[in-house]
Amino acid sequence: MATSTNILQSWLQGERSIAPLVIFRFSFGILMFISMLRFWLNGWIEKLYLEPSFHFSYLGFQSIKPLGDWTYLLFGIAAISALGLAFACFYRISAALFFISFTYIELMDKTTYLNHYYFVSIVAFVLIFLPANKALSLDAGWSPKNLNLKLSNAYYLGLFGLVSMVYFYAGLAKINSDWLLRAEPLATWLPGKYDLPIIGGLLEQKYLAFFFSWAAMIYDIMVPFLLWFARSRPLALVLVLIFHILTRLLFPIGMFPFIMVLGAFLFIDAGRQERFLRRIFKFNTEANSRVIKVLHPPKLLHYFFICLLAFQLLWPWRYLAYPGELFWHEQGFRFSWRVMLMEKAGYAQFTIKEPETGLQFKVDNQQFLSSFQEKQMSFQPDFILEFAHHLAHHYQSEKGLKNVEVYAEVFVALNGRPSQAFIDPNVNLAACERGWAPKKWILPFNDTIYGL
């Protein structure tokens, strides 16, 4: 432990060119701009935020809801501030605006939760505090001369740490019997992609699902280490490209591969990145290459990065506090870099009861939810509870029923297993509180999944 602290200490005292941060800032900003545009053009603002009459919210953020037609403005702000970030125009304000607007968008409805959106939010937050506008920025007159600037490695700690953490934890999460011994969910997903050119025909082979499963696990765990060290870095970059091109071809995962590839590029030798920028901006003379100065972060920023990374390191383990199978009850599943681990689907049917009159009827979910919301709700307990509360509220305050009770019959299938009952049908969900406490009304999983 002492030696690794020493290694970290000496690494933090090192320095490197500002170039990797400048390239990252620029490409991340552009990517986010495209990403916002793509969301808009796909009609997803309308479909995900404006059409549904009800939205699922995160515990503690219940007041954050879509803003009606103003939601477009929100996306507009995110898109423009992403450009501001790319060109470092009013850099700090742009970064802060992007962080706030993007995070707000993600908090509006948790139906759309994706790990990489969470990742984007954290990265944007970290960027606010980095001096990424000190070179090649509109703030500094777009002059390449500041390419001579060097940054203390401490400035890079946050981003390096985050990228490494995402890979490493995604790899750890794959160490489980479903992923490694049953090759699920890949064995379910891959055959459906039989129409891909060249590899399409192979995808139905079980051994390929096993190969991909094991390779992805080893890849995810190894890649952060391979990226840190100069000797293994070329190999790591080749693997990163192959891996993300493949996942992009096989799965509908949007912008994620691009974001992760950018993250991996950060690790490329800083001198090389600097020379690349110098060539592009014709700023190559000997005289210009002497170091002007090295920027050091304030002490406070050190602590901030360390706290951030410590939180990231610990937070994914909160699931250990909940009894039962994580994949089944999903308590502590989100915000932990558990990606592509499950093929889960469900069907939920709610019954409304008014005890005093004996009135009893079932609910047509689509009267309240979009088909995407209904699909996501049907297998995630916190969604089911929130929807049950919404139903109780609806029938009490709008339909005038008294002391409404809400019961749910839910069937869920996980990773190719037969569907089984998911929620105790005898529990009145209207009387169950939202919160961090274990949800006792989730029925136990009929099978066992070993591993992390």
Partner 1 sequence: MLKLRTIIVAFALLSILEGCKVDASQNAGQKDDFDRAAMLIFWADEIIIPAYQDYHLKTKVLQYSLADYRANPSLSTEESLRLAFANGYKSWQWVSAFAIGPAESMSLLNFSNIFPCDTSELLTAITNPNLNLSLPSTFDIQGWPALDYLLYGSNPDSAFNQLQSDPERLQYLQILCDRLESLARSVLEGWTATYRSSFVSSTGSGADAATNKLINDFVFNYEKELRAAKIGIPAGVFSGSPLPSRLEAYFSDTLSKSLYREALASQRAFFEGRSFSSDQIGPSLQDYLDYLQISHNGEMLSSKIINQFKQVETLAAALPTSFKQAINSNPGPFLQSYDALQQNVIWLKVDMMQALNVRVDYVDADGD
From 48, 74, 89, 157, residue interacting with partner 1 (rule: CB under 8 A): 48
The residue count for binding partner 1 (CB under 8 A) is 70
Radius of gyration of the chain (CA): 24
CB of 158 to partner 1, least distance (A): 21
Environment class of 199 (CB within 10 Å of its CB; exposed 0-12, middle 13-18, buried 19+) = middle
Rounded CA separation 225/85 (Å): 29
Q: Is there binding between residue 36 and partner 1 (CB under 8 A)?
A: no
By C-beta, is 126 or 216 nearer to partner 1?
216
Interface stretch with partner 1, choices 2-10, 86-94, 292-300, 414-422 (CB under 8 A): 414-422
Cβ contact 150:294 at 8 Å:
yes
By C-beta, is 86 or 412 nearer to partner 1?
412
Q: Is the dihedral of CA 231, 236, 239, 245 positive or negative?
A: negative
CB of 342 to partner 1, least distance (A): 10
Pairing of strands 344-354, 294-295: unpaired
Cβ contact 392:430 at 8 Å:
yes
> Can you read off the two tokens belonging to residue 370?
């979009």
Output the CA–CA distances (angstroms, integers) from residue 401 to 194, 227, 314, 386, in the order listed.
52, 61, 45, 19
Site string for partner 1, 152-181 (x = CB under 8 A): ------------------x-----------
By C-beta, is 356 or 433 nearer to partner 1?
356
Rounded CA separation 114/57 (Å): 14
From 28, 75, 256, 333, residue interacting with partner 1 (rule: CB under 8 A): 256
From 72, 228, 251, 335, residue interacting with partner 1 (rule: CB under 8 A): 251
CB of 415 to partner 1, least distance (A): 9
Q: Is there binding between residue 44 and partner 1 (CB under 8 A)?
A: yes
From 52, 66, 257, 381, residue interacting with partner 1 (rule: CB under 8 A): 257
By C-beta, is 89 or 170 nearer to partner 1?
170
Q: How many residues does the chain have?
A: 452
Neighbours of 241 (CB within 10 A): 13
> Can you read off the two tokens belonging to residue 7?
């290694």
Q: Which of residues 335-374 bind partner 1 (CB under 8 A)?
A: 337, 339-340, 343, 345-347, 349, 359-364, 371-372
Angle value at C-alpha 109, between 106 and 114, nearest 5 degrees: 50
Rounded CA separation 42/49 (Å): 13
Q: Is there binding between residue 291 and partner 1 (CB under 8 A)?
A: no
Rounded CA separation 329/222 (Å): 29
Give residues in contact with partner 1 (CB under 8 A). 42, 44, 48, 112, 114-116, 170, 188-189, 191-197, 200-201, 203-204, 216, 220, 233-234, 237-238, 241, 244-245, 247-249, 251-258, 261, 265, 268, 272-273, 276, 337, 339-340, 343, 345-347, 349, 359-364, 371-372, 375, 411-413, 416, 418-419
